[in-house]
Structure 1
Amino acid sequence: MKLIATRRLWRILRVVIRYRLDDLLFALPLPGYLRILQWLLPWRWLPRGKTLPRGEALRLALEDLGPVFIKFGQILSTRRDLLPPDIADEMAKLQDQVPPFPSEQSIKLIEEQLGASIAEVFSSFSSTPLASASIAQVHAAQLKSGEDVVVKVIRPGLKPIIAQDLAWLFLLAGIAERASPDARRLRPREVVSDYEKTIYDELDLLREAANTSQLRRNFSDSPLLYVPQIYWQWSRPKVLVMERIYGVPVTDMATLVDQGTDLKKLAERGVEIFFTQVFRDSFFHADMHPGNIFVSTRTPWDPQYIAIDCGIIGTLTPEDQDYLARNLLAFFKRDYRKVAQLHIDSGWVPSDTRINEFESAIRTVCEPIFERPLKEISFGHLLLHLFQTARRFNMEVQPQLVLLQKTLLNIEGLGRQLYPDLDLWSTAQPYLERWMRERYMPKHALAQLQQQFERLPHLANTMQASLENFNHRPEPKAQPQRWLNTLLGASLLVASAQLGLTFHLEAWPAWLMLSAGLCLVLRR
């Protein structure tokens, strides 16, 4: 084993001992041979200092272990479907402010990536970072053309450290899964795998640049949200040059109040932005913690958000969107039978699930929630309870839904901090109902029909190839036309079935395509 990896393990062990994280392990129902181990560890015989709550101890330990573990804790905070509430709450407190690395290293890396000196690219460059996070730090600068920009730089030498820490995390996760059924329920290896993908994605700043450009295009000229411009000619995998924004941090309530910001409208617009991203665009900023959100100072009576750091983006399929919209509407109508049926129809739970038992479980969880005023009901916690209940019926929660639930919790917390009386349902209900109506409008139906027709040649070619492989006998001259009718008819049948499922068999294009397909098949 490499010396540096051994030193890192020793460092991790020291932090474990300092914060007595071994108590978390021995609190689990472990096999007898592992229980003996707690009496053999020498530090467990030493006098204890002040005992911290387990969530706080874990948070402080991750902060002590440095940037990679801080980021791991932040990702861990998104898995509220797996974590106990006290630990999840502490993980959410992890701040992304870490000591900056030397500006000399930053400048060297920028020049290596751009293939030019700082003086050749920028008319001014601040060597003192504006901010420093676990993955990168940011410097203020001005381009030769006069635009104020920020330059984001990946921390040097981060990849080997991440690889070593991930190796130890996978090892610890594997031990925990083998040692305890409770640990297996939390699926630690899956959590570490999610973290591995996320953190390696964040090391590529071109990915973040592409996400930022897409989000900016989605909200072009929007009064709701402003997204800064990316300067692609100066952006590289480890360096990102972006328009510098000037706004008030969304947590700076004193400044927002002083400038006369309409806080009610600001809170409601946050909810509207979220639902627009999820249902109109199927492309949502999944890291909307307060450090990434600012408020424009230009029109405080008509406030506009500014979003930065688009490294983590969530997307949904049309099926995911339909599932969420219908479930939320059914939830707030307390139609638990429909909620249960939607889960089974969409395949989120096995088809052999007893619907009466599932409906009863959902009602047991949700009825106490709805006894409170609507303005006190949390969408995010509602989804969390839904996922936890459905998991008892073998539902596998998809990563994109976990990201969405975490983002919704952030939006809710932010909205109620700005305006405590915010009623999310009164803001969201009209949007959801309008979105559902638009799905049945002729314009949307024709768009779906066009997409299905565009797939017909591919479906026909695929079916023809399959038939040719299956049947090698020579056909009469008239047969190719008959086979063509059959293929086209079968393609129409497949397309009509897909379109019908999309609209739940309520759209006229599906019936039209179904009729045409049957005619062509029967004519054969």
Structure 2
Amino acid sequence: MKFVTRLLRLIRINYVIVRYNLDEILFTTPWFYPLRFLSYFNPWYWLLRNKLTRGERLRRALEDLGPIFVKAGQLLSTRRDFLPEDIADELSKLQDRVPPFPGKQARQIIETALGCPIENVFSELQIEALASASIAQVHAAVLKNGKSAVVKVLRPGIKTIIDRDLDLLAVFAGLAERYWRQARGLKPRELVTEIAQTLHDELDLMREGANATQLRRNFAGSEKLYVPEIYWPYCRSNILVMERIEGIPIHNVEELKRTGVNLKKLAETGIEVFFTQIFRDSYFHADLHPGNIFVSLKDLENPQYIVVDFGIVGSLTAMDQRYIAENMLAFFKRDYQRVAELHVASGWLPPDTRIDQFEGAIRGVSEPIFDRPLKDISFGQLLLHLFQVARRFHINIQPQLILLQKTLLSIEGLSRNLSPDLDLWGSAAPHLERWLKRQVGLRGFLRRVRDNLPLWSEQIPDFPSLVYEVFHETRQEQETNRFARTKGVTKEEGKPHNNGMRYFLCGVGCTLIFSGAVFSLLMHVDIRSVIATIGTGLGLLLVANVM
């Protein structure tokens, strides 16, 4: 039965490929190039040839093939380091819209998930869907306590459909990787794995609720971004109940102007919210297309954003943050040697890479960007060009950075649509510099000491025992060497044995550093004394290292 289902789906896929004249892509491969004349016998070749671009044909084909292929296209659109610009632009327009399934069926799903009649939880539930997508649809409701809410309900049988198409995508990816050399750089199998992970995450609405709760906690009390509340007692893996929000969609610029919203302030706030997520929280909403962003009308001069749909989020490590901040600052200072050094320090460049070649490649793609006025420079394009250079030098860009680049392009597009003259660098630079100041220097060091203090307070009582064990082992080693010398078989004859002194200096140095940090945090000692204590400890560690 599985074979028949797969065969029917393959027939459908081939029909769509032929209909949109995408067989020309197949005929560009070495295996099928001699058969390219067959495309002339395709009637749609003549009908669509001059009407639709290749990007438009690919986008329409993916929309016809259903939700899995739409999601695949949306993920592909983020890989602008691999795709031609025209195709990436078209794929970014993919719309995940399908007709809603019957409201009565949604009601049954909700009652089954909650294990009780609708009337026990909701005083009102609209049968007609507010919005509908490939994976879920949303219904308006009112809770028993009078709060307005929306209920997101997974489509029935969607997991089976997703698994079926993912199975086929895996087959196509294996064939592409094996027989199409140009596709290998895109790593089709890894891409399908990423698509599968993203889709399976979106199928778990409890996970989406957790993402929303984290983002809401990060911006609690903020006047710049509002995240709706999740009503956890009524949430299950296939239904999500959350606060209903009111606002104007961000893409409705005419309505925003008519209402009197300060568009310049709104654009600046969008950039500020984005960089706050990156450099303060290390956690960001990664699906910020216009359909997921609304504007509150509570304060027209200081407008507030409202976001929904938390199925896709990204998180960054401290190394990712440093990579972004220091590279951006170095780029805008045109310090390309520093950019190359940062990649070497991170260990991302292969050991046999010539730094001067890498620096030259970065300069070659960056100088044309910086010849423009500062307000016209795009952060997203900057990251894109950096990723393209990275691919040439076999640097594997992490998925979270690709998600970040996609989100940054979306935010830039929205902000410039609201305020074309917005200086993105002027809005972003304070966040970058503030983050770097927190990370480097004495204050950054003391902050990290403070963060680790609870762990160290548990470990410090064991310190004398550890020092004793080190000295004991050193003494045993000296006795062994002395015995070996009496036998004439010493391993390192003529080499001084300074292990004991080295360990002693390490122990004293660590103790001084730890004591200085503790005194500065708990006893309010003069900062000069703290610096002297810590400096002495670092000096002893340096001497021990030289020995």
TM-score, normalised on structure 1?
0.87
Sequence identity of aligned pairs in percent? 53
Normalising by the residue count of structure 2, what TM-score does the alignment of the two structures yield? 0.84
Find the counterpart in structure 1 of residue 274 from structure 2: 274
2:97 paired residue number: 97
1:167 corresponds in structure 2 to 167
Report the secondary structure of 2:138's partner residue. strand
Higher mean Cα deviation, 62-71 or 359-368? Answer: 62-71
* 1:387 alignment partner in structure 2: 387
Residue 28 of structure 2: aligned partner: 27
Is it true that 1:50 corresponds to 2:51 in the alignment? no
Q: Report how far residue 448 of structure 1 moved.
A: 0.8
Contact 1:152–1:241 (CA under 8 A) maintained in structure 2: yes
Q: Give the corresponding residue for 1:142.
A: 142
Residue aligning to 1:14: 15
Q: Which runs of 5+ in 2 are unaligned?
A: 479-499, 518-529
Q: Deviations along 1:32-52, whole A, 9 cap, x unmatched?
A: xx3345567896488732223
Query: CA separation in 1, counterparts of 2:539 and 2:116?
Result: 65
Taking the aligned partners of 2:169 and 2:141, their CA distance within structure 1 comes to 38
Rounded to whole Å, the distance in 2 between the matches of 1:264 and 1:218 is 25
Which secondary structure does the structure 2 equivalent of 1:160 belong to?
A: helix
Shift, 1:446, TM fit: 2.3
Counterpart CA distance in 2 for 1:140 and 1:487 is 69
- 1:66 deviation in Å? 1.4
Larger displacement relative to structure 2 (75-84 or 55-64) = 75-84
Q: In the aligned structure 2, how far is the partner of 1:282 from the partner of 1:486?
A: 40
SS across alignment from 1:48: helix
Count of residue pairs the alignment pairs up:
498
1:3, distance to aligned residue in structure 2 (A): 2.6
Give the drift of 1:357.
Answer: 1.0
3-state SS of paired residue (1:287): coil
AA in 1 matched with 2:119: A
Q: What is the alpha-carbon distance in structure 1 between the residues aligned to residue 447 and residue 219 of structure 2?
A: 22
Question: Deviation digits for residues 357-390 of structure 1, max 9, x if unmatched?
Answer: 1111111111111111111111001100011012
Report the alpha carbon displacement of residue 214 of structure 1 after superposing the two structures with TM: 0.7
Q: State the partner residue of 2:489.
A: none
Tell me the amino acid that sits aligned with residue 216 of structure 1: R
Partners of 1:349 and 1:510 in 2: how far apart? 34
Alignment of 1:44-443 (within 5 A): 44=42, 48-51=46-49, 52-440=52-440, 442-443=442-443
Task: Measure, in 2, the Cα distance between the counterparts of 1:269 and 1:183.
Answer: 40
Aligned partners of 1:249 and 1:100: how far apart in 2?
21
Contact 2:154 2:239 in 1 (8 A): yes
Q: Is the 8 A contact 2:508 2:537 kept in 1?
A: no
- In structure 2, how many angstroms separate the alpha carbons of the residues matched to 1:123 and 1:15? 45
> Deviation string for 1:62-116 (max 9, x for gaps)?
1111122212211221222221111111111011221111112211111111111
CA distance in 1, matches of 2:161, 2:459: 47
Q: Is the 8 A contact 1:206 1:240 kept in 2?
A: yes
SS in structure 1 of the partner of residue 185 of structure 2: helix
Cα displacement (A) at 1:489:
3.6
1:335 to partner: Cα distance: 0.8
Query: 1-side partners of 2:38 and 2:133: how far apart?
Result: 39
3-state SS of 2:46 partner: coil
Distance 1:143 1:318 in 2: 41
Mean Cα displacement is larger for which, 1-10 or 360-369?
Answer: 1-10
Which amino acid is 1:23 matched to?
E
Flag the 1:358–1:102 CA change in 2: closer, same or farther, 3 A.
same
1:49 alignment partner, SS class? helix
Alignment RMSD (CA, Å): 3.2
Per-residue CA deviations over 1:428-480 (Å, capped at 9, x if unaligned) read 1122112211223655422311344555567989x98xx99xx8x9999xxxx
Q: Which is further off, 185-194 or 511-520?
A: 511-520
Q: How many angstroms does 1:152 deviate by?
A: 0.5
**Change in 2 beyond 3 A, CA 1:36/1:158:** same
2: CA distance between counterparts of 1:208 and 1:405? 21
Deviations 1:321-376 (A, max 9, x none): 11111110110111111111111111222243211111111111111111111111
Letter of the 2:33 counterpart: R
Q: Which residue of the partner structure matches residue 481 of structure 2?
A: none
